[in-house]
Structure 1
Amino acid sequence: MFFKRSVQRYGRTPPPETPYQRAGQLWDERIGSARVQARNWRLMAFGCLALTVGTSAGITWQSMQSRVTPYVVEVDRLGEARAVQAADAEYQPTDPQVAWHLSHFITNVRSVSLDPVLMRRDWLEAYDFATRRGAQFLGEYARSALPFANAGDRTVSVQITSVVRASDNSFQVKWTETEFERGSQAATSRWTAILTTVMRPPASADVLRKNPLGIYVDAIDWSREFDGTPAPAAPRSPDPAAKLPLRSPLDPGTENQAALSTIPETNP
């Protein structure tokens, strides 16, 4: 024991290879290979996803870049071009266009027809040109005035006389209403209204069909004009004797003078 020779080691002795070690190594190789393959497939999936997102964003951006500029050509009833303008979302209607729509709006609301079906169509069309505030005014007017009450017996014809701009967002409309009862004219009145308008671009195809220019009536204030002009007096017929010559047989004073000449003079 005291004279045992020391063992010189020049490296670590590998552990002995056992069947358990070989089985564990084989299991690690199988599981590790599957995990490495799964990691590679995961990286490829993320790469494909990023490529798809980039391609979709590029296609979307390219589709939003319009290379064709549409133009709107306004023509008259004969087909002659009146105005040419690029179709822009910031289009502002002109004063004549706004005036026509406001005239049509007043005509639809104030007119009374013999056919209630036509009146209902006109009122529904008027609601297409009114905001929520304007529709509330129309509802209150319909409940108070009852325009459908005498639809079969009374008619009202509206004649627009003028539409002028009163401010940046309001227009002054003047019109004349002629009332007919059972076919005969009953009364005539003059009215003035201040209509406040707002511009809203159409948001759907249905709104574009009903209100293409996006003109909406937001506030309505109308009143009847006071007609203080006195009725013209009947012309006075001239005295016929003033135009007759002196001593004319047609002069009524000639007979009186002849009668006086036949009275004999008596001395007192």
Structure 2
Amino acid sequence: MAQANPYLNARREWDERYGDQIARAKSWRIAALAALAVATVAVAGVAYIGAQSKIKPFVVAIDKMGSPIAVAQPSNGSGVTQRIIEAQLANWIVNTRMVLPDQTAQQTLLNRSYAMLSSNAASTVSDWFKSNSPFGAAYTVNPQVNSVLPTGANTYQVNWTEVKAVPGQNSTTTHWKAQITVGVDAKLADKPQVMLDNPLGIFIQSLNWTQSVS
């Protein structure tokens, strides 16, 4: 039987005793470095979030006629789209041209109408109402928008039909069209008197409407 080598035995004992300690120390170093990396990423994330703007945008949901029905915060902001402008213009025609027997309801419609008008457009509409006042009228007018067509970068043609009803008489139908130039100014919604009726800041710069041949 070969005699045991005391050098090899000592070497083996050293490897078993201290090698495991070295391996454990290496594992702890790796774990510590990983924890440090995670902490660094977390701190950077908190700093990034803290640097973000605390002013959060909100989007106004509208119905098929363009009336605001809900407000919600989106994941990211978006501008006023062409479809929204078209819906708002259709809604504006209805508010402006409709004639109701209830004067309170009529005034509500006109408030919504004027909330979307520039001073130039408001002058045009006011001139119309001087000879076509909806208050105290002996008839009603029900407008129905048929189409809103873009004709340029900021211009649209609106086509609609009006049914005028006089008590005791047959109703009459006429066809109308308007050329409208629009703009968008979100600051308009900052005004309390405008915010509820025009939350998107869409306004009519100029308009011209005429009756069409049937």
Assess, with a 3 A threshold, how the Cα gap between structure 1 residues 67 and 177 changes in structure 2: closer, same or farther: closer
Q: How far apart in 2 are the matches of 1:98 and 1:145? A: 27
Assess, with a 3 A threshold, how the Cα gap between structure 1 residues 70 and 120 changes in structure 2: closer, same or farther: closer
Gaps of 5+ in 2: 1-49, 64-72
Assess, with a 3 A threshold, how the Cα gap between structure 1 residues 183 and 105 changes in structure 2: closer, same or farther: farther
Alignment-derived partner of residue 186 in structure 1? 171
Residue 83 of structure 2 aligns with an amino acid whose one-letter code is P
Assess, with a 3 A threshold, how the Cα gap between structure 1 residues 121 and 183 changes in structure 2: closer, same or farther: farther
CA RMSD of aligned residues (A): 2.7
Residue correspondence of structure 1 range 65-84 to structure 2 within 5 A? 66-68=52-54, 70=56, 72=58, 84=74
1:118 to 81, 88, 105: 105
**Shift, 1:139, TM fit:** 1.1
Assess, with a 3 A threshold, how the Cα gap between structure 1 residues 74 and 137 changes in structure 2: closer, same or farther: closer
Q: How far apart in 2 are the matches of 1:124 and 1:141? A: 16
Gaps of 5+ in 1: 1-63, 78-82, 228-268
> Which has the higher Rg, Structure 1 or Structure 2?
1
Confirm or deny: 8 A CA contact 2:103 2:136 kept in the other structure.
no
Q: Deviations over 1:235-268 (max 9, x none)?
A: xxxxxxxxxxxxxxxxxxxxxxxxxxxxxxxxxx
Confirm or deny: 8 A CA contact 1:73 1:85 kept in the other structure.
no
Show structure 1 runs of 4+ deviating over 6 A.
73-77
Aligned pair 1:134/2:121, yes or no? yes
Aligned pair 1:86/2:76, yes or no? yes
**Greater CA drift, 212-221 or 181-190:** 181-190
Name the structure where helix makes up a greater proportion of residues: 2
Q: How many residues align?
A: 154
Confirm or deny: 8 A CA contact 1:193 1:223 kept in the other structure.
yes
- Percent of matched pairs sharing the same residue: 23
Aligned pair 1:166/2:151, yes or no? yes
SS in 2 for 1:221: strand
TM-score (norm 1): 0.51
Assess, with a 3 A threshold, how the Cα gap between structure 1 residues 84 and 114 changes in structure 2: closer, same or farther: same
